[in-house]
A and B are shown apart, each in its own frame.
Chain A
């Protein structure tokens, strides 16, 4: 058993992704910057179309063919991944960065035995012999809580339940001791009791091995459960960033505030739901100035004109709102 790798720091700076379509160029990721400290779990949240999954795919270099990184870079422990050739990148993917997808059934090979899929990484990336890699796979299966690994080793993915398949995905992700695991809605398709098992498992394994985590989800309580830091995305941009406890307790962007107010909190029955008016903008012609201003009740003239960058406030918190104090006033008025 090799010692856990020393976690790297991931630095994403000013990352932009463009897709050229028939009706023009859209930028689903538009100048996104964030960092992940060793052993840290960072949540990327937002609604459909906010660019959170696309950001994840850009980090790993697995964008769909029509999408391209047009600006910015992704630096993993000193290596700029955006500059790497595909063959060099293949040495990083699966080895130093692993990914867990929402739908394990479509991410796993349906005609390969589960155990062999887990053993493949150690053989290819860590140069283990066949026997070593099988031992490693069995041990990983035990670690992720797959009962009776010796027998289940020879099973195929379709013989597993959804939760067990996601455990297999986690075992594969962990198999080469990666520094960073990217998770794209890994528990969204699971039942709540199974989601609870998988979240606890992920948190425990990352704590033990010091692996960093980037966790994409639309589910705020899931972020609260597993992440230390959170970045809120809207229309391709990060609009707010900070520690989970602070951002969720006192949001400094009206979009974050809107998300918190529109989802019922199981611990606050009787609270009324306030939807965010309007709908997200078309990325073909995003609004001028702040992209959220047409839906924002705090919007003023300056919001329509100037496009506010994400700026750092005190205590490691950032917001892209010109009038973020209004959020504080609003939360204060409620309390």
Chain B
């Protein structure tokens, strides 16, 4: 791809100290949890990129680092070719916006929807003062809400409507990248569909670039062009959506796909797709972090930490497995 990517993250690390800091200091030990442990990710203009993974994989923390809520310990984030500084200017903050899973806790309960939007539009000087009012109404129309919603408080809306308000708030600043962290997970399926359709419309109408974080692979396959899979703080596979679902090259991805409950269950027997629990992020295995649950782990997996490597045939497809491009057995768990 020759076009300049919209966003380029390289070697991003975010870590937290865990446990009681006082007790730790007294004993002279400190546990550091590497929630995001060296992530490289490129987001192209106009695409919908999914970030999937299970709880504790670091997908939300990484997203928060992109938006500027968490400060990475290492690595850099480039937007449009320019490195974003640790302390972002207001203009830079505008360019990446976020929608959260629970719209109720991310909206100010004491402000009407109009109040929330007016404040944003004024503070960031998105439109001239005289147009703030009309722009707010236009935003509500864009997300499919009545203009009357301007005077209502968040608690007066249903979950789906509230998520529409949260989306209106995020796109009010005309961001170049919209990061949506599990935006439909708390919603009933019929409502979930309306929000997914809205996101698709907004992408088409406004040319939004979307980073969509989800654990729901059916939703991801429906909405996104590319998928990045995270496991314990690392990206372990990136591919165009169809390639990933058709031919996963990392055994974790293969297991994740095989674990999805299907509408027409093929009789898959009693063996689960992935065995065991993920290890504690405080005590990571040596070498490959997936090897303790991996059906194809070998000696080398305990010794060397595999890097994310591109497919020799398809440069858009990368996987961090020693055997990703040497054998045909990433699908072994399904085939048996």
Which chain A residues have a beta carbon within 8 Å of chain B's beta carbons?
A: 47-48, 161, 163-164, 191-197, 199-200, 204, 218-222, 224-225, 245, 248, 258-259, 261-267, 269, 271, 273-276, 279
Contacts and interface: CB of A to CB of B under 8 A. Distances in A.
A193 B193 CA distance: 24
Contacts of A196: 258-261, 272-274
Contacts of B155: none
A192 B263 contact: no
Given A264-B219, A273-B193, A193 B259 contact: yes
Contact of A197 (B219, B245, B275): B275
17 contacts: A47-B188, A47-B190, A196-B259, A199-B261, A220-B189, A224-B261, A224-B262, A245-B264, A259-B190, A261-B193, A266-B245, A267-B263, A269-B222, A269-B242, A271-B222, A273-B197, A275-B191
B222 A193 contact: no
A276 B275 CA distance: 37
Given A192-B260, A193-B274, A264-B219, A269 B193 contact: no
Contacts of A259: 189-190
A155 B258 CA distance: 32
Interface majority SS on A: helix, strand, loop or mixed? helix
Contacts of B312: none
B218 A263 contact: yes
B202 interface: no
A279 B275 CA distance: 40
B142 interface: no
A269 B260 CA distance: 14
A42 B255 CA distance: 27
B265 interface: yes
Interface of B: 54-55, 158, 160, 188-194, 196-197, 215, 217-219, 221-223, 241-242, 245, 255-256, 258-265, 270-275, 277
B277 to A, nearest CB: 5
B188 A48 contact: yes
A246 to B, nearest CB: 12
Nearest to A217: B261
A225 B270 CA distance: 12
A275 B190 contact: yes
A226 to B, nearest CB: 8
A262 B260 contact: no
B261 A263 contact: no
Q: Which of B55, B245, B277 has the most CB of A within 10 A?
A: B277
A221 B54 contact: no
B190 A262 contact: yes
Given A264-B219, A264-B222, A265-B263, A193 B197 contact: no
B189 A193 contact: no
Given A164-B277, A265-B263, A191 B54 contact: yes
Contacts of A261: 193
B334 to A, nearest CB: 12
B115 to A, nearest CB: 25
A262 B192 contact: yes
B272 A276 contact: no
Nearest to A223: B261
A193 B273 CA distance: 7
B190 A193 contact: no
Q: Which of A163, A197, A265, A266 has the most CB of B within 10 A?
A: A266
Contact of B263 (A48, A220, A258, A273): A220
